[in-house]
Amino acid sequence: MSKKVIVVGGVAGGASAAARLRRLDEDAEIVLFERGKYISFANCGLPYYIGQIIKNRDDLLVQTPEKFKARFNIDVRVNSKVIKIDRKNKQVAVKDLSSQENYNEKYDKLILSPGAEPAKPPIKGIDSSRIFTLRTIPDADTINNFITEHKPKRAVVVGGGYIGLEMAENLRHRGLLVAIVEMLDQVMPTLDKEMASSLHEHLHEQSVALWLSDGVAGFRQSNSKLIVALKSGMELSCDMAVLAIGVKPEVRLAKQAGLEIGSTGGIKVDEHLRTSDSDIFAVGDAIEVEHFVLKKPVLIPLAGPANRQGRIVADNVAGRGTKYKGTQGTAILKVFDLTVAMTGATEKELQKAEMDYEKVYIHPANHVGYYPGAQQMHIKILFSRPDGRILGVQIVGKDGVDKRIDVFATAVRCGLTVFDLQDLELAYAPPYGSGKDPVNMAGFTAGNILDGTADIKHFEQLDNNNFLLDVRSPAEVARGNIKGALNIPVDQIRKKLNELPRDRTIDIYCAVGIRSYIASRILRQKDFDAKSLSGGYSSYFARTSEKLLEGKTGQQLRDEFCTGF
């Protein structure tokens, strides 16, 4: 006897589960309920449709209900909202949003993929028609139509995460002046702060104003303008605002049905993605997962994991017993001309988890310098002591970031160490990389620390009692330096050993850490206590450059939004 499977939610996880299940079981009766008008749409592409990078709206429709039905023989019911789960009688109550009629539908197995909804806190004035959220195609249509009809000139984006940054970029593409308001002291909270500093600078270059460490206290209308009142007392004047302060798992159905909710607020599932009811499974943004590195419950709303979970849950409904092995948070984001990517744990998370780790920074070019167009990347790699297992990686740059993060993500998933990175045989030709790829270089740099070849220091560990040595060229020093450092270019170190103290630790820095490492090797073999600053002046400056936000450019950008301008 064939089983009847109901899938609630028809986007990434739900659609993947339904399609996979049909490939495994041709005889199963599969019903997919979607409360919206569309299934399997590309919600990651919505900001780019608003920015007119994606010009054809239909390109966002990966599948239509009609095509899904024809190919997979699945009963797709759009505009149908599941309003209740009756676990005892194994049925769901459904409201047809077109006819407003309610009816019940029986199931043998139930798959929940309700997703997440944009966070919308109870702030005064938040229901203004000039305030938008972005999660669905109708949301995108509403924003697009507002811009077309009202021709706004200024927009405030509340939140500096994925959607906030994508919306800032695409609203700029539409010709609007944009300000980002973020409660944290950095944009992109899935990065460590020093890695986000490049984004802050680049956003200024793209005429995006930043209000960091500030939040929204309320909204109000003033004639044709929307006034955004900040907690600091500042008031911003704009024509529209986009709320991008994160999402929260949609667990209403699960709670109503008495399913267990995890400590993070997501639906609790086991390694087979089964809920506390053995006949009900759940996938996607609504569920709590185990972090692959930290081994703790987390919410990570990403499309890649949701699609894989859909496939795995279909396996388990079909009786295959496939396990989901956790989410490591691999992600990538375009921010104007920059690319930012990450995988695994951040330093903030490792500190909170009290894990023993070390870190290194490198700043290699995406390909060999003699081939035209080489561009610098900023890479931070976190690894465990003493075995060197890779715990997390963050990269900010332009070309070449995407392929490096995928190598690092694979290394994290496979439990590789920094020593394994040294042995990876990666494709090389001058237009694409280097004989020693940045991935290899990360392995060499980290391996040198663990095997004792290098003794490093990080920028936050600089000690005024130590002797500070700058081994860059005089021209580089003139462009910026750490106060109090003696400048001896690396190639002159051997001739000037008598100028260096033997009774003090010598902290050495250069531009990115290569020359300081060479200098430290020379000095250590001459019985000096020498340490190399990881990442060099580039990493030091990234950590200390937040004063740029208070500079002339930043203030000019913010002045555009001051009330009464």
CA atoms within a 13 Å half-sphere pointing along the CA-CB vector of 228: 26
Given the structure tokens 């951040």, which residue do they identify?
A: 346
What is the bridge-based pairing of β-strands 109-112 and 4-8? parallel
Q: How far is CA 545 from its chain centroid?
A: 22
Q: What strands, in cross-sheet order, belong to the sheet with 235-238?
A: 216-222, 225-230, 235-238
Within 10 A of 301 (CB to CB), how many other CB atoms are there?
Answer: 19
Exposure string of 421-446, with b = 16+ CB inside 10 Å and e = fewer, is bbeeebeeeeebbbeebbbbbbbbbb
Catalytic residue selected from 44, 414, 510, 562: 44
Let me know if 44 is a catalytic residue: yes
Neighbours of 57 (CB within 10 A): 12
Task: List the structure tokens of 159.
Answer: 């939140």
Residue 561's contacts (CB-CB under 8 Å, 6 or more residues apart) are 154, 156, 177, 179, 209, 236, 237, 238
For residue 513, give every residue at least 6 positions away whose Cβ sits within 8 Å of its Cβ, in sequence order, or none.
361, 362, 363, 445, 532, 533, 534, 535, 536, 539
Token match 């392995």: residue?
443
Residue type, 171: L
Residues assigned a catalytic role: 44
